[in-house]
Each structure stands twice: as C-alpha cells, then as structure tokens.
Structure 1
Amino acid sequence: MSAVDAKPRVARGFRLQWEEAQGCHVLLYPEGMVKLNRSAGEILTRCTGAATVAEIVADLETAFGASNLQGDVESFLDMARQQRWVDAA
C-alpha cells in the first residue's frame, strides 16, 4: 500500500479502539487483540478510508512537528496490509 493516493482503512473484522486499561490503542478481532505502540495507533486512527497516504503523512508531520515520515508510514502500512489489518478504500 505504498501508493500515496491509496486511502487505507482498518479492514473488516478488526476494530481499532483506545483501551484505557492498556494505556494504548488496540486492534480487536474475533481471535484476539493486538496491542499497538503509539506510532501504530496514531497511523491507524487516521486510516478511515477518507484520507490518502500522503494526507495521513502530512497530518502526522503537522501533529507531531516532524518531517520525513513518508517512508516510516509506508513501511508500517505495508506490514499492516500483510497482516490484513488494513485495506484500501
């Protein structure tokens, strides 16, 4: 999912939510739960099917005062796609 115009979204069968007890975002699915680090949670909360990868990167860079996040975001999304956590809208 490295195309900057792709619009990633959390895949069917998964639900992203903040888990107060864990102190982080988690990805729930019928067989279990994936505890996400802060970066993964921030990326996945923006994967709604409305924003392109480029827009997600720009939003993250603005929100965190960072630059050059494109490669990291694309790498994470590629891994998430392989895990079937995300697909393209």
Structure 2
Amino acid sequence: MSFDRQLTPRWRQGYRFQFEPAQNSHVLLYPEGMIKLNESASAIGGLIDGERSVQAIIEALDQLFPGFPELGADVEQFMEVARAERWIELA
C-alpha cells in the first residue's frame, strides 16, 4: 500500500511542538510528558501546521536540503510513526 502524500498532518489536540532551551532541541509536549526530537524530526515537525500536505512538506524540505533522493521516503516514515504513536492526525 502506498502512502497518500496529499494527506495533511496536524498535531493532535493536547500536543505542542516547540523549541525547548533546556533540552537544546525541539520537543513534542503532551499531557503525559515530552518527546525530544532529533534534527530530522524537528525539520519535519516545524512544517506541520494543519495546512500543508505531506507533499508540500516534502517540497519545502527539498528546497532546504536539496540532493537527498530518500527525503520523500523519510518524511513518509516519520508520518507513519507519528500517526502510529498518535502524535498527529492525517486527513
């Protein structure tokens, strides 16, 4: 089954993406805790706004980081993990 890049991700209610100076990284805050994100996840997470489709996120990242042919697959993988962990909703 192929991933539908026209889907639009948004953070689930109660989840907030932000930079946390104490962690010196971006994190995902939620009522039960916090998830520290690596640089790749932070770059993707920073573009999740409930407006951009997965395809638009891939295109924006491609402008920032050109020359990575696996970029689209990496974004899809992040979306699948984030959906499975219930961090995001895809509509």
Partner of 2:66: 65
Is it true that 1:10 corresponds to 2:11 in the alignment? yes
Partner of 2:87: 85
Structure 2 CA distance for aligned equivalents of residues 67 and 46 of structure 1: 18
Deviation of 1:74 after TM superposition, in Å, equals: 0.1
The amino acid of 2:65's aligned partner reads F
Report the TM-score, using the length of structure 1 for normalisation. 0.92
Moved over 6 A (4+): none
8 A Cα contact 2:83 2:90, kept in partner: no
Q: Which runs of 5+ in 2 are unaligned?
A: none
User: CA RMSD of the aligned region, Å?
Assistant: 1.4
Taking only the aligned residue pairs, the percentage that are identical comes to 43
Structure 2 CA distance for aligned equivalents of residues 19 and 33 of structure 1: 10
Structure 1 CA distance for aligned equivalents of residues 6 and 86 of structure 2: 19
Structure 2 CA distance for aligned equivalents of residues 53 and 30 of structure 1: 26
Task: Specify the SS of the correspondent of 2:28.
Answer: strand
The number of equivalent residue pairs is 89
1:14-25 equivalences under 5 Å are 14-25=15-26
Task: Specify the SS of the correspondent of 1:42.
Answer: helix
Structure 2 CA distance for aligned equivalents of residues 33 and 43 of structure 1: 17
